[in-house]
Structure 1
Amino acid sequence: MLPKKNITLIGGGGYLGLNIVSKLQAETDAEYSITILDLNLVPLENPDIRIDYKTIKFIKGSFCDLEKLEVALKNAEIVFHIAAVGVMGLSAGDREQIYRINIDGTRNLIKKCQEFGVKRFVYASSIAVVMIGDPIYNQSEDEPLPAPSQYPTSYGYSKAAAEKLVLAASSENFKTCALRFRAIYGPADPNATRRVVDLIKAGLFISLCTRNKHKREAITQASSINNCTKAFILAEKMLEKPDGPHGKPYNILDANITGSFDFWGPLIEALGFSRPTFHMPFWFLHLLARFYEFLCFQVFKTNPILTSFELILLTTDNTYSLRNAKQDLGYFPDDGMMTEVAEYYSKERVETCSSSAMSFFVVLFIVLLFLLTIFLV
C-alpha cells in the first residue's frame, strides 16, 4: 500500500498549480491527499493533462485570510507555496499590494505552517531575485543576492525578501527550499505563453531588439511547465530525506540556452507568421515601454502587453547554473517543450498580419510624436 501524504498548494488553482496536481496524482511512489487554497480553481484547457478534480479539496480564498489558511493547513504535512502577485498585469504597478502579499503574506504563512506542524515547504521563487538588468552568465545560487536598492521592480525585491524568509526558517522540523523559475511556459498556459500568442496574432511581434555590443539577440533559458512540475516533486522528496539538504535555493530551467527572440520562433511560424528581422533600438523601445506602463497603470488601469522590465529581460544575457539542482534534487531537465507549444497553438493559425502590423506602426508614430512634444515643450 502506498504511503499517504497530505499536501496543501497555496495559490494552486492556476496553470502551474494544477499541472503540479496532475503530476502528484500520477506519482507511483506515494499517494497524495491534495488541498488547494486559492481565489479560483481554473480548469486546464490542455486535454493531455488529466486531473481527478473529485479528489481535490478546494478552499476558495486568499492565503492572507488567516481563517481560510488555518483550514487549508489542517493536517498538512507538505506545503507548496505558489501564490504571488506583481510579475505581470495590473498588479505589477501596485507596490503596496506586492509587498503585502508576497512578503507579509509569506511571513504569516511560514508562521502558520510552523504552528500547524508542517514538515516540508517548497517555495516558488523567481530568477527576478538576481536579475537587476546586468548580464549574468551561468549564475549560481551560491552567489549573494543584490542589495535591495538595486532591484528595478517591486516584484523582484519582494520575491528576494520572501525567499530569504523561507530559507532562514528552515530547520530539522520544518525543512524548506526555494525553486527559481524564469518565464514558465507550456501548452494552454494562460499567462506568459498566451500573451505572446496574442502579440503574434495581433501582428505586433515584428521587431528584434538588442543592446549588447555584439548586436546579437540576448541569450537566456526558460522554464517549461514539465520541468517545473518535475522539480516540485523532486524537491519534496529531497526534503523528506532525514539527512537531505534544506534551506537552499535552486535554479529550475530548461537545459538548453537559446536566443530570447529565437526561442519563440517555432510558435511564430506555427501561427502562420514570419520570424522578425527588423531591429528597433533599445533606448526607443524602453522609453516607449515606460510611457506605456504609465498609461496602463496610472491612466487606463489596464494590463500592459509588455513592461519595461520584461523588455530588459528580453534584451539582457541571463543564463543559470543547474549544478546544485542536479546534485541535490536529481534534477536533469529536458531541453524544453516549444515544439509541443507550437503544435498546440497551430490550430489558431492566422494567415495574414499586414493590417495589424500597420496599426502598430501607426501607434508607434503617434506615441513618438507625443514623446517629442513632451520633450520639446
Structure 2
Amino acid sequence: MTRGEIRLEMEQELKMSENEISQKIDGEIENRIPDRIQLILLDLIEPPRDMLKHYCAFVKGSFADNFIIRALLDDVDTVFHLAAVGMTGQHARDRSTCMEVNSTGTMHLINTCKSKNVKRFIYTSSVGVIFTGKPLIDAKESDIPYPQDWYNYYCESKCHGERIVREASNGTFKTTVLRFNGIYGVGEKRVTERALDFIKSGWWIAMAKSGGVEAMTQLSSVDNCVQGLIKAELALRHSDSEHGQAYHIMDREQCGTFSFWAPLNRALGYPDNMIVIPGFLFRKAAFWAEIIADYFKFDPFISVLEADLLLISTTFSIARAQRELDYDPYPSAMPEIIDFYTGSRTDSKEKSHRKWNFWKKICLSIAIVLIVLPILYFLIYPFLLIFLYLNIWILSVFLGVNL
C-alpha cells in the first residue's frame, strides 16, 4: 500500500487534521516496513542498541571479509557501500591501506555482489575525487574530469573506487555514486563533534583566510545524505533509470568555511570577533601536524586536505541530482545542532574557558607575530642585501664614488 492509499483510507474512515494524518501515516509506514523490507548493517563499530529499529539487524565485521559478505548477501537487492579510510587520521598518509580498502576492497565487494545477484549498488564518494587544490565554483559532475595527479592517497583511492563502481553498472546490476562534502549533523563525530569540542575548549579564537577572503563551500547535512541515498535507490528501481552516474549531494545553501560554525559558537556564549591567520601559516601548521602525528602514531588535529578545503572555495551544482533523483535538499541542520548541543546547562569549566578567551587571543597574536617576523626576516633579508650592494655598485660606477 502506498502513502497516498494510506492517506485516502484515513480520510474516508477518520476525521483528522492534516498534522494528525501525517503522523498516522508515518506510524503506519513504520509498522508495515518489517513486512516488506529488512535492513542489515555491517560495521566495525556497534551502534547503541536503542538506535536500531526492530527490522534492522547488526553484524560486526568488515566488508573486506569475504566470508561474512557472502553470507550476508543472500537475497539482498540493494547494497549501500559507505565504508572508507584516509580522509583523516593516520591512514591519510598510508597509500597501501587507502588503496586496499577504498579501491581494491570496493572491487572485490562489487564482484561478490554480482555473483550473489544483487540488483542495485549505491556508493558514497567524496568531492575529493575532483579536488586538485584549485577552486571549484558551481562545479557540475559532467564538467570536471578525473584528475591525472591526485591530491593525496585518499582522493586517489576514492577516485579509483568511484570509477570501478560506475564502470561496473549494467542492466542487471545498476550502480550510482553520491559525492558528499563535509558531512555534519547531530551525532556526527568526525566534523560536528570535533568542531563542538574545539569551540567548548575556548580555543576557537581565530579563522584562516587566503588573501584576506574567507573561502565558500557547500556542506552535506546528515539528513540530506540520507535523502540522497534513499532517492538514489528508488531511482535505480525504474527500468529506464539513469545508472553508472555520479551526483553531488549537498545543502542548497553556500556558506563560509569558518563562519558556518559562528552560530554555534555564539549560542555557546563565545564572542564572534576572531583573529585572522594567514592561509599559508594555517596550511603549514596542518602539514607539520600530519608529520608529527605520523611519527608518533596518533591522529593529527587536522589534515592538509581538510586545511585546503577550509582555505579554497569549493561550491557545487546539485541540478543533476534534483533533476534525475528528485533530490530536494532540506535547509541547513545548524538550528538542530544548536538546539541539541546547547540544551544542557553550561558548566563551570566552560565558563572558565570563556573568561580566558581574551587572553588566549592575545597569546595567539603574540605567537603569530613571533613566527611570522623571523620568516619574513629570512625571506626579505637576502633581497635587502642584494638591493644594498646593487646601489653601492651603481654609485661607484656612475658617480665615481669609491665606497
Aligned residue type for 1:38: D
Pairing partner for 2:47 from 42, 57, 60: 42
Distance in 1 of aligned mates of 2:363 and 2:114: 52
Is the 8 Å Cα contact of residues 36 and 72 (structure 1) preserved in structure 2?
no
Partner residue of 1:284? 281
The 1-side partners of 2:155 and 2:144 are apart by 15
Alpha-carbon distance in structure 1 between the residues aligned to 2:237 and 2:366: 55
Q: Is the 8 A contact 2:85 2:92 kept in 1?
A: yes
Name the structure where helix makes up a greater proportion of residues: 2
**Which of these two proteins has the greater Rg computed from alpha carbons?**
2
TM-score scaled by length of structure 2: 0.79
Q: Give matches, 1:55-134, under 5 Å.
A: 55-134=55-134
Q: Find the counterpart in structure 1 of residue 15 from structure 2.
A: none
Q: Which residue of 1 aligns with 2:5?
A: none
* Separation in 2, partners of 1:247, 1:305: 36
Structure-2 separation of matches of 1:136 and 1:88 = 21
State yes or no: 1:361 paired with 2:364. Answer: yes
- Conserved? CA contact 1:204–1:360, under 8 Å: no
Cα contact 1:267–1:342 (8 A) shared by 2:
yes
Offset of 1:143 from its aligned partner? 2.0
Residue 145 of structure 1 deviates from its aligned partner by 2.7
* Correspondence for 2:333 among 330, 337, 344: 337
Distance in 2, Cα, partners of 1:307 & 1:231? 27
1:340 Cα deviation (Å)? 0.7
CA distance in 1, matches of 2:282, 2:203: 13
Distance in 1 (alpha carbons) for counterparts of 2:200 and 2:370: 22
Return closer, same or farther for 1:248/1:276 CA change in 2, 3 Å cut-off: farther
1: CA distance, partners of 2:362 / 2:92: 26
Specify the SS of the correspondent of 1:191: helix
Q: Percent of counterpart pairs with the same letter?
A: 32
Segments of structure 2 that go 5 or more residues without pairing to the other structure are 3-25, 380-403
Secondary structure, aligned partner of 2:321: helix
Shift of 1:57: 2.2
Check 1:254–1:77 CA distance in 2 against 1; reply closer, same or farther (3 A cut).
Answer: same
- Equivalence for 2:161: 162
Structure 1, residues 212-235: CA drift from partner, whole Å, max 9, x if none? 4xx321111000111110111100
- Match of 1:179, SS? strand
Question: Which letter does structure 2 place at the counterpart of 1:104?
Answer: T
| CA shift for structure 1 position 305 | 1.6
Q: Residues 296 and 56 from structure 1, CA distance in 2 versus in 1: closer, same or farther, beyond 3 angstroms?
A: same
> Normalised by the size of structure 1, how large is the TM-score?
0.84
In the alignment, the residues of structure 1 paired with residue 32 and residue 205 of structure 2 have an alpha-carbon distance, to the nearest angstrom, of: 46
CA contact (8 A) 1:210 1:281 kept: yes
* Alignment size in residue pairs: 344
1:318 matched to 2:323? The reply is no
| Partner Cα separation in structure 2 for residue 236 and residue 26 of structure 1 | 18
Secondary structure, in 3 states, of the residue corresponding to 1:141?
Answer: coil
State the partner residue of 1:216: 213
User: Structure 1 291/52 Cα, relative in aligned 2: closer, same or farther at 3 Å?
Assistant: closer
Q: How far apart, in 2, do the equivalents of 1:144 and 1:277 lie?
A: 35
Q: 2:261 aligns with which of 264, 268, 292?
A: 264
Distance in 1 of aligned mates of 2:143 and 2:201: 41
The residue aligned with 1:197 is 196
Amino acid at match of 1:40: I
Superposition deviation, residue 361 in structure 1: 3.2
SS in structure 1 opposite 2:189?
Answer: coil
Question: 1 CA distance for matches of 2:338 and 2:304?
Answer: 26
Q: Which residue, out of 286, 304, 315, partners 2:300?
A: 304
